[in-house]
Structure formats: C-alpha cells, structure tokens
Amino acid sequence: MDALDPERLAVDLAALGGRGRCWIAYSGGLDSTVLLHALTRAPLARPLGAIHIDHGLQPVARDWRRHCRERCRVLGVRFVARALALSPPPGESLEAHARAARYRAFAALLDDDELLLTAHHLDDQAETLLLALLRGSGVHGLAAMPGCALLGRGRLVRPLLGVSRAQLLDYARRHRLDWIEDPSNDALHHDRNLLRHQVLPLLRGRWPAAASTIARSAAHCAEAATLIDRQAGCDLAAVAGAVPGSLSVAGLSGLEPPARRAVARLWLRRQGFAVPGRARLERVVGELLTARVDAAPQVAWAGCEVRRYRDDLYALQPLPRPPDAALRWVSGRELVLPHGLGELQVSGAEMALEVRFGVGGRCRPRPGGPLRSLKKIFQEAGVPPWLRPLVPLLFVAGTDRLVAVAGVCGCHPEQAGAPGWLRWSGHPWGALGVFREVCEIGRAAGGEGAQ
C-alpha cells in the first residue's frame, strides 16, 4: 500500500468521529500541498477547507497567498486567508512569536467539531525530539508533537506523523504537484534547519532508519508523560486552593519535589499557559512556597505571572496598568474601561460619577455600620494586594464621596436611601471567585452619594 494512501487517511479521520469541516493549514509548501491533494482524493465524511496564514515576513507573501487561493479554486476547496501583524515582545524570538500567533489564528477559526489538519511528518517529529533534547526537556518535551490535541473549540490533528519527507516528495513528483519553496527553510541559523539539512542526513548515513527510531522514542515518552499526568491530576485535585483555579501552598509543600513539579506543569497547562523552563519552574515550586505570608512574590515569563496571596498560588495573564486619570461617567450608560478592565453598568441610580483606581478612602459596607478603610475591606473580601489597584472605585463626580467598590461592596451613608446597583463584568478575573458581579451603590436618603 502507498505510504500516503488517501483511503487510509479517510479511515483515520473517520475514527475521530464527527462531521465538522476539516481545515488544512495550507502554506503552499511541499508538505501541506501533498496533504491537500491527498485529502481531495479521499472519501471523507467531512467537508474540506484550507486556511493560509500570511505572516508578512517575506516580500513575496502576497504571491504565495494568490498561489494557494488558485490551487484551492482548481481543487474545489474552500479557501480562507488570515494576515498577521507580528510584534514580538522583548525576549521572545520572532519565530516563537509567529508560531503562537499562527495557532491563535487557527484556534479562532475552528468551530465546534471542526478539525485543523497540519502536515507535520516523521522527519518533523524527529527534529522536534532532537531540539527538545538539546534544550534539556523532560518527557513532556521529548514526547514531541501529539497526533491529536484540543485547539480552540475544535481539535488539531497531525495525520502524517508516520510519513517521511522523502515519501511526501515522491508523492508530489508522481502526481506532478507544484509547491512554494520558502527560502527561509534553508537558513542554517535556524536550529531546526541545521538539524534538517546537516545533522539528520549525517545520522541517516550511519543509521538509515534514524528518523523513524527517533520518532518511536517520542512515542515512548508520550506514554510516560500520560502516566505522569494521570498521577499529577490526582495530586492536583488534592492540593487545590481555596479559590477556584488556585493551588494550596501548604498542600503543594507536602508533596515530594518531583511531584510538585509535575503538578505545577499540569496546573499551568490546564490554565492555558506555557510551561516555563526548569529554572522558573523551580522558583514557582520553591521560593513562592517559602515566601513570607505578608510578601507579594511572583514569578513571570512570557504571557504568564504566578503570584501568591495568603496560602494560594494564582496563575494569571500579565496584569494591565491601571488608568492614570479618573474617568467621568454618567451612570445611565455602560462604561467600557480601558486596558481590558471590563465594563461597568449602573441601574436604579442616576448620578454623575468618577471612576478612580488605586486611591485610598473609607467606606461603610453596611448601612448603620462603621466606616472601614479600603485596605481592610479588600482584606476581608480576599482581594489580593496585586489586584487592588485595578478595582474600579466609584465616586460622586467632583467629590471624595465613595459610593461603591466594584465587585466588592457599596459604600453607604449613615442615613441610607434606596440603593442602586453596580455591575462589573468582562474583566479577566471572574474565575478567581473573589469579585461579585453585582453590588450595591450606596445613596443618601435625600439623593446621591455616601460619605
């Protein structure tokens, strides 16, 4: 049987179940061109589509897009293109940034029950394992690329991991396919290209089946990683923190160091964050656990911050900067806060307000109760110190009369009138469970705000 048999591809995809569209990640290069052609000849139960990502990194990128669109037109395959605007942050390589942006675009495209098919093959798998070895990765890294994984609302599938690059080239020549040659694939300053063009050919010269046996080792590591994750999942459930999604410092400290690291890795992956290198991971399961209770330690890397508050660890996206100036607001309208801090909406109270951040003040959380400092109110509500500067504070416009602490409480006057209601939604910390979506706005018996 042909190493790349369309009927076998159809059987493998049918085993996944479902009937949503199969999207092919179509760059126009050899690998994805072969996958596209083979799938158009396969008896699929799903409709086909192709998505082309324009990274904007090559002067001929528009020509590549036209090439891919025309090939899809000829084959009768739905074609979608997405252009990326890349701006890697300091410390992140352009290659890694482009890859992350590409997969975000793929994830955004997928609907329920849809598949994204990539043309990663046997040689890619061998290269990935060798790169992981050179980085000193553990078994999760050495497992290389899984054949199937969740992506957005659908799944990512790599149906060609058992097919070599030589077999893809043979298929393309037999079917007289034409494809794009990306000159960056020959640049030896990229680690993967160096392995592809110099290291793997040398290994094959001595061990012809080198790519296949290296990929087999990746499969063994994937099995080991699955068993580690299964045990780590049990440990993770046992050391869950008081707040949903957090980790208990005391519980984590009670585990052996290898188990701590396994739990931390699984915890981060389940929260959608990349697992950092060994040094940062050791800080997460080391210094964060031994820090003083009144300290505010954190460990940060690209796209993630792990912070401690009391006995819990939290994994968060990097915190935004609070607005510098007060925001004027007429309460009858929805206010969209800057920097992704969510939206505010007031009902049952018409007044001119100002929204401020990171200022002090005093508040009476209950009618007839004592005034309390904002620090004390935040402590009692369990709001971590590093989130407090980002909590919207509502004042009567032009005054220092505080009427509400969004997500926490209203601030009532001594003689309270009928309260209004404040809704704070769309902020990134809803899953933490420390903020209420709706709280009261305190109003005096005769009208507006509270002292």
Residues annotated as binding site?
27-32
417 phi and psi, to 5 degrees?
A: -95, -165
Q: Please name the residue ranges forming H helices in 146-206.
A: 165-174, 191-194, 200-206
How far are the Cα atoms of 138, 155, 183 from residue 60, in angstroms, in the given order?
Answer: 39, 31, 11
Residue written as tokens 């902020």? 427
The Cα–Cα gap between 269 and 275 comes to 7
Nearest to 420 by CA among 410, 430, 432: 410
If residue 344 lies in a helix (H) or strand (E), which one and from where to where? Answer: strand 343-347
Binding site for ATP: which residues?
Answer: 27-32
The Cα–Cα gap between 450 and 436 comes to 20
The Cα–Cα gap between 64 and 66 comes to 5
Q: How far is CA 411 from the centre of its chain?
A: 37
Judged by phi (left if over 0) then psi (alpha if -120 to 50, else beta), residue 171 lies in alpha
Return the number of other C-beta atoms located less than 10 Å from residue 409's C-beta.
21
The Cα–Cα gap between 202 and 213 comes to 15
The Cα–Cα gap between 396 and 343 comes to 18
Pairing, β 115-117 against β 154-157: parallel
197: helix, strand or coil: helix
Distance from first CA to last CA of the chain, Å, rounded?
Answer: 82
Return the number of other C-beta atoms located less than 10 Å from residue 208's C-beta.
10
Longest CA span, the chain: 90
Are residues 248 and 289 in contact, defined by beta-carbon separation less than 8 angstroms? no
The Cα–Cα gap between 141 and 265 comes to 12
